[in-house]
Amino acid sequence: MVPTHGDFHRDNIFAEVLPDAEGRPALSPAALIDLDSVGPGYRADDLA
């Protein structure tokens, strides 16, 4: 086990389509997924 970091990538964002101020469809962040906490982990997880 080695220290690993929490990862954040644009692929970890769930988005939903909501109307913008003019009523046009626009993407809005809805949730974050797959965030690892900082702490001990396996280096292979970061390299994957």
pLDDT in tens, the chain (48 residues): 444 555 667 777 889 999 999 999 999 988 877 656 555 667 776 665
Dihedral angle at the C-alpha atoms of 17, 20, 23, 24, nearest 10 degrees? -60
What pLDDT does residue 46 have?
65
Q: Which of 34, 46, 48 is nearest to 5 (CA)?
A: 46
Q: How far apart are CA 32 and CA 39, in angstroms?
A: 19
* Total of domains in the chain: 1
What pLDDT does residue 40 have?
64
What pLDDT does residue 37 have?
59
What pLDDT does residue 27 have?
92
What pLDDT does residue 9 have?
72
List the domain range (segments joined by +) for residue 13.
2-47
